[in-house]
C-alpha cells in the first residue's frame, strides 16, 4: 500500500483502486505526483494482487470491506474513491456497503455489468478462470510454486503483447505484474466476470464523474457509456481517446482527464 500526504492535513483524500492483474503502483504510478500535490492519497493493493491480502477465494464485496477497514484504521474520514476497471466495481460496492466512507466517486474505464457477453467468454474463458482458481487451492505447494512461475511468465507476455517489452517502463511493469499470484488473480477475474450492479446506482447521492476510454476492447466503451446512463443526473463524463492500458501506455493522455474528474468531484463533494 502507498500513502501520500497532500499540501495540508485537511486536504481531500483520494482512495485509488486498481484494476484486475495490476497493482496500485502499476495503475497509478504516473498519477501519484500530480494528484499528490493537491490531495492526500491512499493506494492499496487489493486482495489477491501484489502485496494485498491473500485471497484464494475472491468476492468484490470482501475487497470493498478490506479497503473500508483500511480507511477506518488510517482515520481518513470520507474519501473520494477513484476506481479503474475492477477498481470501479469495488468502488461501487464500497459505496453500497460503506456509504459513510464515500464522499464522491471517480469511475474510470469500468462498467456496471462485467458478465461475459460472448459464447467464448461464457463457455471457455470463464470456466478456465474458475478451473485455474480451483487448481491453485488444490495443488501441493511444490507443484504450485512451479505453476506460479510459468503462469506469471505467460500472463505477462499476454498482457504486454504488442508493446515494446524492452523499454524501461515495460520492464518495470512486468515486475509489477509478477508480484501477484496468478491463481489468486484468476479467482478475482472469475468473480469480476460474474459481477453485475444491483441496479441502484441512480440512488447515489455523492458527486460522480466517469473517465471513459473510447478505444477500449477490455471494458468496451459502449458498456462504459451504459454505466453513465445508470448513474444520477449530474454525472459528468471525461473521454480519453485510448485503450484500456492507457494508464501505463500513454499516461500523459490519461492524466488530464483523471485530474479534471477528480477536481470536479472533490469540489462538489
pLDDT of residue 246: 96
- Pairing mode of beta strands 79-84, 40-43: unpaired
pTM listed for this prediction: 0.93
Which residue, among 36, 25, 191, 200, has the nearest Cα to 112 in the 3D structure?
Answer: 200
pLDDT of residue 4: 62
pLDDT of residue 7: 65
Task: State pLDDT tens for residues 190-234.
Answer: 999 999 999 899 999 999 999 999 999 999 999 999 999 999 999
pLDDT of residue 189: 97
Grid cell digits, residue 159: 498482457
**Cα–Cα distance for residue pair 38/11, rounded to 1 Å:** 7
Q: Show the domains of the chain with their CATH numbers.
A: 2-114+197-268 (3.40.50.1820), 119-191 (no CATH)
Q: Which residues of the chain are under the pLDDT cut of 70?
A: 1-7
Grid cell digits, residue 171: 520492464
Task: State pLDDT tens for residues 42-75.
Answer: 999 999 999 999 877 899 999 999 999 999 999 9
Is the separation of the CB atoms in 171 and 165 below 8 Å? yes
Grid cell 477465494 in the structure block, residue: 57
What is the Cα gyration radius of the chain?
18
pLDDT of residue 236: 97
Grid cell digits, residue 229: 446512463
Q: Residues 87-100, buried b or exposed e (16+ Cβ, 10 A)?
A: bbbbbbbbbbebee
**β-sheet bridge partners, residue 108:** 84, 211
Amino acid at each position: 500500500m502507498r500513502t501520500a500526504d497532500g499540501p495540508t492535513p485537511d486536504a481531500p483524500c483520494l482512495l485509488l483502486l486498481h484494476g484486475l492483474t495490476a497493482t496500485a503502483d502499476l495503475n497509478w504510478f504516473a498519477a501519484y505526483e500530480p494528484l499528490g500535490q493537491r490531495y492526500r492519497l491512499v493506494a492499496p493493493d487489493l486482495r489477491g494482487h501484489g502485496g494485498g491480502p491473500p485471497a484464494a477465494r475472491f468476492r468484490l464485496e470482501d475487497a470493498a470491506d478490506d479497503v473500508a477497514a483500511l480507511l477506518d484504521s488510517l482515520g481518513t474520514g470520507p474519501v473520494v474513491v477513484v476506481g479503474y476497471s475492477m477498481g470501479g466495481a469495488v468502488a461501487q460496492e464500497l459505496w453500497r456497503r460503506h456509504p459513510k466512507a464515500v464522499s464522491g466517486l471517480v469511475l474510470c474505464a469500468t462498467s456496471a455489468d462485467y458478465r461475459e457477453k460472448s459464447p467464448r467468454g461464457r463457455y471457455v474463458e470463464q470456466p478456465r478462470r474458475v478451473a485455474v482458481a480451483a487448481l491453485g487451492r488444490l495443488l501441493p505447494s511444490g507443484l504450485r510454486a512451479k505453476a506460479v512461475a510459468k503462469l506469471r511468465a505467460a500472463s505477462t507476455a499476454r498482457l504486454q503483447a504488442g508493446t515494446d517489452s524492452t523499454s524501461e517502463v515495460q520492464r518495470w511493469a512486468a515486475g509489477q505484474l509478477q508480484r501477484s499470484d496468478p491463481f489468486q488473480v484468476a479467482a478475482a477475474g472469475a468473480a469480476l466476470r460474474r459481477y453485475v450492479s444491483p441496479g441502484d446506482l441512480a440512488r447515489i447521492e455523492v458527486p460522480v464523474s466517469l473517465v471513459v476510454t473510447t478505444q477500449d476492447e477490455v471494458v468496451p466503451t459502449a458498456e462504459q457509456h451504459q454505466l453513465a446512463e445508470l448513474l444520477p443526473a449530474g454525472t459528468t463524463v471525461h473521454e480519453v481517446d485510448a485503450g484500456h492500458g492507457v494508464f501505463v501506455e500513454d499516461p500523459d493522455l490519461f492524466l488530464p482527464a483523471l485530474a479534471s474528474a477528480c477536481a470536479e468531484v472533490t469540489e462538489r463533494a
